[in-house]
Structure 1
Amino acid sequence: MGINSLLPYRLRNRRDATRHARAIEDILQTPPVIPRNDGLVLFSMIGTAVILPYLVAVKSLWNQLGRGRIVLLDDGTLTGRDKAVLARHCGDPEILAIRDVKLGPFPAGGTWERFLTILDRRQHEYWVQLNSDTVTMGPVPDILQAIASNRSFILLGDTEAGAAPLDLAQFRTTRYPDGPEEGHIQTRIESRLDLIPEAPRWHYIRGCSGFAGFAAGGQGRPLAASFMKAIEKLLGSEALSEWGTEQVASNFQISNDPNPVLLPYERYLNYWGEGWSKEAAFIHFVGTYRYHQDAYKRASRIAIDELKSSTGWLGQKGQ
Structure 2
Amino acid sequence: MNIATSLNKFRFGMAVKGIIRTIPVQLEGQELLVLSMVQHRDVLPYLLAVKSFCRYLNPARIVVVADPTLTAQDRVLMAKHVPAIEFREQAEFRKPGIPQGGCWERLCAVAEYVHDNYVIQLDSDTVAVAPMPEVVKAVQEQMAFTLGTEDDQLVQTCGEIAAWARGRLSDHDHVQLVAESRLDKIDGNNEYRYIRGCAGFAGYPRGSFSFATMALFSERMARVLPDRWHEWGTEQFTSNVIVASMPGARILPHPKYCAPHRRISDSAFFHFIGYVRYSTPFYAQLARKIATELRVA
TM-score (norm 2): 0.93
Q: Which secondary structure does the structure 2 equivalent of 1:200 belong to?
A: helix
Q: Which secondary structure does the structure 2 equivalent of 1:240 belong to?
A: coil
The correspondence for 2:189, drawn from 199, 218, 221, is: 199
The correspondence for 1:246, drawn from 225, 231, 235, is: 235
Runs of 4+ in 1 over 6 A off after TM superposition: none
Deviation at 1:37, TM superposition (A): 5.8
Which residue in 2 is equivalent to 1:295? 282
Matches within 5 A, 1:21-100: 21-36=13-28, 38-100=30-92
The correspondence for 2:217, drawn from 221, 227, 242, is: 227
Deviation at 1:19, TM superposition (A): 4.2
Contact 1:24 1:52 in 2 (8 A): yes
Q: Using the alignment, how far apart are the partners of 1:230 and 1:157 within structure 2?
A: 26
Q: Which secondary structure does the structure 1 equivalent of 2:50 belong to?
A: helix
Deviation at 1:66, TM superposition (A): 2.8
Pair 1:299–1:133, CA change in 2 (3 A): same
Q: Using the alignment, how far apart are the partners of 1:275 and 1:240 within structure 2?
A: 30
Q: Using the alignment, how far apart are the partners of 1:95 and 1:66 within structure 2?
A: 19
Contact 2:114 2:207 in 1 (8 A): yes
Contact 1:136 1:303 in 2 (8 A): no
Q: Using the alignment, how far apart are the partners of 1:16 and 1:157 within structure 2?
A: 24
The letter for the 2-side match of 1:263 is: L
Q: Using the alignment, how far apart are the partners of 1:142 and 1:3 within structure 2?
A: 38
Q: Using the alignment, how far apart are the partners of 1:121 and 1:66 within structure 2?
A: 17
The letter for the 1-side match of 2:193 is: H
Matches within 5 A, 1:118-133: 118-133=110-125
Q: Using the alignment, how far apart are the partners of 1:35 and 1:206 within structure 2?
A: 32
Deviation at 1:18, TM superposition (A): 5.0
Which residue in 2 is equivalent to 1:317? none
Deviation at 1:269, TM superposition (A): 0.7
The letter for the 2-side match of 1:43 is: L
Q: Percent identity?
A: 31
Which residue in 2 is equivalent to 1:211? 201
How many pairs are equivalent? 296
Which residue in 2 is equivalent to 1:4? 3
Which residue in 2 is equivalent to 1:316? none
The letter for the 1-side match of 2:84 is: D
Q: Using the alignment, how far apart are the partners of 1:291 and 1:68 within structure 2?
A: 33
Which residue in 1 is equivalent to 2:100? 108
Q: Any unmatched runs of 5+ in structure 2?
A: none
Q: Using the alignment, how far apart are the partners of 2:138 and 2:80 within structure 1?
A: 29
Q: Deviations over 1:274-310 (max 9, x none)?
A: 3521110000010121111112112223322332333
Deviation at 1:191, TM superposition (A): 1.6
Which residue in 1 is equivalent to 2:291? 304
The letter for the 2-side match of 1:69 is: R
The correspondence for 2:159, drawn from 165, 169, 190, is: 169
Q: Using the alignment, how far apart are the partners of 2:149 and 2:233 within structure 1?
A: 13
The correspondence for 1:20, drawn from 6, 12, 23, is: 12
Deviation at 1:201, TM superposition (A): 2.8
Q: Using the alignment, how far apart are the partners of 2:294 and 2:271 within structure 1?
A: 19
The letter for the 1-side match of 2:267 is: A
Q: Which secondary structure does the structure 2 equivalent of 1:142 belong to?
A: helix
Contact 2:37 2:64 in 1 (8 A): yes
Contact 1:137 1:302 in 2 (8 A): no
After superposition, the CA RMSD in angstroms is: 2.0
Contact 1:129 1:213 in 2 (8 A): yes
The letter for the 2-side match of 1:300 is: A
Which residue in 2 is equivalent to 1:277? 264
Q: Deviations over 1:226-281 (max 9, x none)?
A: 22122212121x3121110000011111111121121001210123xx35211100
Deviation at 1:29, TM superposition (A): 1.2
Q: Using the alignment, how far apart are the partners of 2:43 and 2:91 within structure 1?
A: 20
Q: Any unmatched runs of 5+ in structure 1?
A: 6-11, 311-319
The letter for the 1-side match of 2:65 is: L
Which residue in 1 is equivalent to 2:244? 255
Q: Using the alignment, how far apart are the partners of 2:59 and 2:108 within structure 1?
A: 24
Pair 1:18–1:76, CA change in 2 (3 A): farther
81-90 vs 28-37, which moves further: 28-37
TM-score (norm 1): 0.87
